[in-house]
C-alpha cells in the first residue's frame, strides 16, 4: 500500500485531453490518448473521485453491471482530491475490467467525476501468469487454422 507521503504512480494520473488530432480523426468528444499493453491491463481497477459519503454499496452495484466482482474496498493513504476516496475493485475476468474502465471513466457519480485506471501492481504472480496465458490463447484462437504450428 502507499504511504501518505508517496506520490501517485504515473500510470494512475489522468491525462489531458488531446487537442492536436486532425478534425477527421476527432470524434464528438475530446479524449485522452493512451495505449495499453497486456501487461498494463489488469482485472484490478482503482476508482478515484468517489465522494467520501460511504458509497461502497452504490459503487458495488454500479460495478457489478459489468461483471462479477471478487473484491471492493477503500484504499487508505492514497493521494486523492479533498472529500473523495479511492476504491480498489477486482473483477473475476479481465474482460469485465476492460468494459468497466471504458464505460465508467469520466462518468458522473453522486456529484463526483470518476477516474478509473488499471492497477497491475495489485496482481499476484499467479494472476499475471494467468493473464498472459489467456492472452496467448486468445491470439491463437484468432489466427487462421493454417497458421497454428503443427497444422498442415
What is the per-residue pLDDT across 122-150, written as a single tens digit (0 to 9) for each? 999 999 999 999 989 989 999 887 655 66
The CA angle 37-43-49, to the nearest 5 degrees, is 95
Rounded CA-CA distance 118/40 in Å is 7
Q: What is the mean pLDDT of the chain?
A: 83
Domain annotation covers residue 113: yes
* pLDDT tens profile 34-47: 666 888 889 999 99
Domain annotation covers residue 83: yes
Nearest-Å Rg of the Cα atoms of the chain is 18
pLDDT at 126: 94
Domain that holds residue 87: 49-125
Count CB neighbours of 1 within 10 A: 9
Domain annotation covers residue 133: no
Count of domains in the chain?
1
> Does residue 8 carry a pLDDT above 70?
no
Domain annotation covers residue 75: yes
Domain annotation covers residue 91: yes
* pLDDT tens profile 102-119: 999 889 999 989 999 999
Domain annotation covers residue 96: yes
pLDDT at 151: 55
Q: What is the CATH number of the domain that holds 72?
A: 3.30.70.330
Domain annotation covers residue 31: no
Domain annotation covers residue 66: yes
> Does residue 4 carry a pLDDT above 50?
no
> Does residue 25 carry a pLDDT above 90?
no
pLDDT at 40: 84
- Taking residues 69-81, what's their average pLDDT? 91
> Does residue 3 carry a pLDDT above 50?
no
Amino acid at each position: 500500500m502507499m504511504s501518505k507521503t508517496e506520490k501517485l504512480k504515473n500510470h494512475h494520473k489522468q491525462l489531458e485531453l488531446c487537442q492536436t488530432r486532425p478534425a477527421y480523426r476527432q470524434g464528438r468528444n475530446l479524449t485522452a490518448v493512451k495505449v495499453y499493453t497486456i501487461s498494463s491491463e489488469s482485472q484490478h481497477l482503482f476508482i478515484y473521485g468517489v465522494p467520501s459519503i460511504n458509497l461502497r454499496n452504490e459503487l458495488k452495484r454500479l460495478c457489478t453491471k459489468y461483471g462479477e466482482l471478487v473484491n471492493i474496498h477503500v484504499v487508505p493513504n492514497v493521494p486523492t482530491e479533498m472529500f473523495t476516496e479511492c476504491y480498489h475493485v477486482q473483477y473475476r475476468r479481465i474482460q469485465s475490467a476492460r468494459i468497466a474502465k471504458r464505460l465508467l471513466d469520466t462518468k458522473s457519480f453522486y456529484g463526483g467525476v470518476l477516474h478509473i485506471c488499471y492497477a497491475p501492481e495489485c496482481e499476484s504472480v499467479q494472476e499475471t501468469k494467468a493473464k498472459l496465458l489467456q492472452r496467448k490463447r486468445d491470439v491463437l484462437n484468432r489466427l487462421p487454422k493454417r497458421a497454428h504450428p503443427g497444422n498442415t
